[in-house]
């Protein structure tokens, strides 16, 4: 019941943001949305919104994304139906967190960086994805939080750190992935999950029916759903992969497919 109430509150928030954008002829933005929150937005009937919607999290495969509510008048003025993220102007910053002394730095994880941010009193909705690299991390935060984080975040676990801001154009991230090839009887969601995570379709069926699988941020609960080439499938607790496409049929009439599992 509480979950249903939370969904209704979030729906109302989206509608209010869309109404404000329409009435004031400006772009309005949500906070960073989780996969479940993005799903609530995707499933909101379009006739309940007053504007178009786009979303972005800093890079193409970002999991946590901000929604932008864009009035039709702006689409008309711009003369096109889609816009680049820098044209929309999402209000987030990219911060680089690096140890002051790499020699004595600990091996820090995503959990460590997130915990340090939350310990500053920052709500999770004000932070986007955290990308861990070699001894450092990049984090997306709401622009209103950037100066505070740069000033106050001085330690992650026992490691002293510095925080600097970079422009989005400076941020260069290409997710690493492992390419997995195999054959399936048909290009169904359960078949692709079984291939990507080296498990049986029977075991993974429960994940789909248990509302833990998202395709491009949209919750999918049907095992027979057929992903399209380029779709990003996220499984809570397991990871995510991109469906790279299908090839030829084998002699046994199975379909050759390729998925790219992010590592």
- 92-99, strands of its sheet edge to edge: 127-132, 137-142, 92-99, 159-166, 155-156
Q: Give the HSE-up count for residue 149: Cα atoms under 13 Å, Cβ half-sphere.
A: 30
Q: Can you count the helices (H) and strands (E) in the chain? A: 8, 14
Domains of the chain: 2-88 (3.30.1370), 92-166 (3.30.70.330), 177-262 (3.10.290.10)
Phi, psi of 207 (to 5 degrees): -70, -40
* Tens-digit pLDDT profile for residues 11-41: 999 999 999 999 999 999 999 999 999 999 9
Give the per-residue pLDDT at 1. 47
**What percentage of the chain carries pLDDT values higher than 70?**
97
Give the per-residue pLDDT at 81. 64
* Tens-digit pLDDT profile for residues 197-235: 988 777 778 889 888 999 988 899 998 899 999 999 999
Cβ–Cβ < 8 Å for 100, 113: no
* Tens-digit pLDDT profile for residues 133-180: 888 999 999 999 999 999 999 999 999 999 999 998 888 888 888 999
Give the per-residue pLDDT at 80. 63
CA distance linking residue 151 with residue 138, whole number of Å:
16
- Any bridge partners for residue 183, and if so which? 256
């Amino acid at each position: 019941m509480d979950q249903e109430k939370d969904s209704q509150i979030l729906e109302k928030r989206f509608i209010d943001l869309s109404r404000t954008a329409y009435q004031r002829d400006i772009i309005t933005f949500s906070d960073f949305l989780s996969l479940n929150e993005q799903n609530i937005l995707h499933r909101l009937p379009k006739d309940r919104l007053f504007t178009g919607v786009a979303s972005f999290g800093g890079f193409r495969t970002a999991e946590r994304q901000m929604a932008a509510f864009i009035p039709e008048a702006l689409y008309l003025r711009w003369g096109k139906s889609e816009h680049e993220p820098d044209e929309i102007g999402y209000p987030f910053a990219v911060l680089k967190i690096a140890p002051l002394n790499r020699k004595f730095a600990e091996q820090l994880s995503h959990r460590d960086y997130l915990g340090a941010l939350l310990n500053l009193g920052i709500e999770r909705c004000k932070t986007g994805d955290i990308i861990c690299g070699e001894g450092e991390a990049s984090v997306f935060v709401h622009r209103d939080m950037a100066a505070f984080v740069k000033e106050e975040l001085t330690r992650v676990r026992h490691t002293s750190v510095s925080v600097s801001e970079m422009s989005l154009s400076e941020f260069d991230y290409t997710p690493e992935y492992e390419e997995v090839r195999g054959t399936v009887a048909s290009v169904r969601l359960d078949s692709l999950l079984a291939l990507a995570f080296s498990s049986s379709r029977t075991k993974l069926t429960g994940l789909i029916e248990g509302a833990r699988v998202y395709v491009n941020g949209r919750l999918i609960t049907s095992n027979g759903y057929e992903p399209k080439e380029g779709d990003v499938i996220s499984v809570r607790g397991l990871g995510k992969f991109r469906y790279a496409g299908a090839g030829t049929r084998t002699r046994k009439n199975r379909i050759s497919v390729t998925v790219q599992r992010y590592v």
